[in-house]
Chains A and B, each alone.
Chain A
């Protein structure tokens, strides 16, 4: 029995869904390294990954690299980009530095980070809908424009697989996408709305519908299921 109809969650969670509306449309805009058309194509690949035969077979394998083959792709994106999208969507806990460096060598460091960030942003919004039994959103309309391909200043090697801002003012995860500031803005906006909520993050006691230990228990469970070390 459903106590609250899923559609009612949209009304009750209006501030969150308003953020989703805004972020979702901007995912279809031209990025710094990928065009709007390519970004929307990447979003289609995120959803396709869940019915990709190669991804399903790899999930069941002891190591994903033991299984060779082609992804069931729905776009003209480069093969390595499709591999990044599908693996990040379906099997994030078993990504390796060696694999990442091969993808970066092929598509470039900044395009790698922009694509990965885009996948993560979409994943949050899609996951929220699935978790509440809501239908997934239609993909946004691709917007015109040419990527300007400008690398930001102040980024470098801080010990991660990709360059990040060298200034450490917050948690490492909060600067993970700093190589692509425009797409990072979408990511930050979403995480703030879903979880950290600005200065509240520093408070150990939260006045929300769930207590902070309840929220952190959910967080720990998801991270354990995804085998995320961080």
Chain B
């Protein structure tokens, strides 16, 4: 979804540089915030202030909402052992190996590796 949504804005992301922000606007700050929030680091307040200076309080609330949503989404996926949707397997086939995602424990739940193919739209990814 990161790649597809960036392309929709005629910009490119560098998936290999996820930790550095992947070339997304304020990406490095957003990554630092997500890391600090998930790990509950002692510098979370400071990181949040730094992010707010760039994206405003509304942006911080959106960021917190997203971090929280994916803390839950990751857990429901891991607890129920769902497989990748076939469209998602295809969409991610070209970078899962590159980023080491296939080494995650949850990879064992998915039987089909997928064929590198790009979906036409969002719903195609989750077909």
Contact = CB atoms under 8 A, between A and B. Distances in A.
Interface of A: 1-4, 8-9, 12-13, 16, 84, 88-89, 92-97, 100, 113, 116-117, 119-121, 123-125, 127-128, 130-133, 159-162, 164, 170-173, 176-177, 187, 190-191, 193-195, 201-206, 208-230
Contacts of A121: 72
Q: What is the size category of the interface that chain B forms with chain A? A: 35 or more
Interface of A is mostly: helix
Interface SS of chain B:
helix
B104 A93 contact: yes
B72 to A, nearest CB: 4
Contact of A159 (B26, B72, B111): B111
A95 B79 contact: yes
Contact of A124 (B5, B45, B69): B69
Nearest to B87: A171
B55 interface: yes
26 contacts: A2-B45, A3-B49, A3-B52, A88-B79, A100-B79, A116-B76, A116-B79, A124-B68, A131-B37, A161-B81, A164-B80, A177-B80, A194-B68, A194-B69, A204-B8, A209-B58, A211-B9, A212-B8, A213-B6, A217-B21, A217-B31, A218-B67, A226-B71, A226-B75, A227-B104, A230-B74
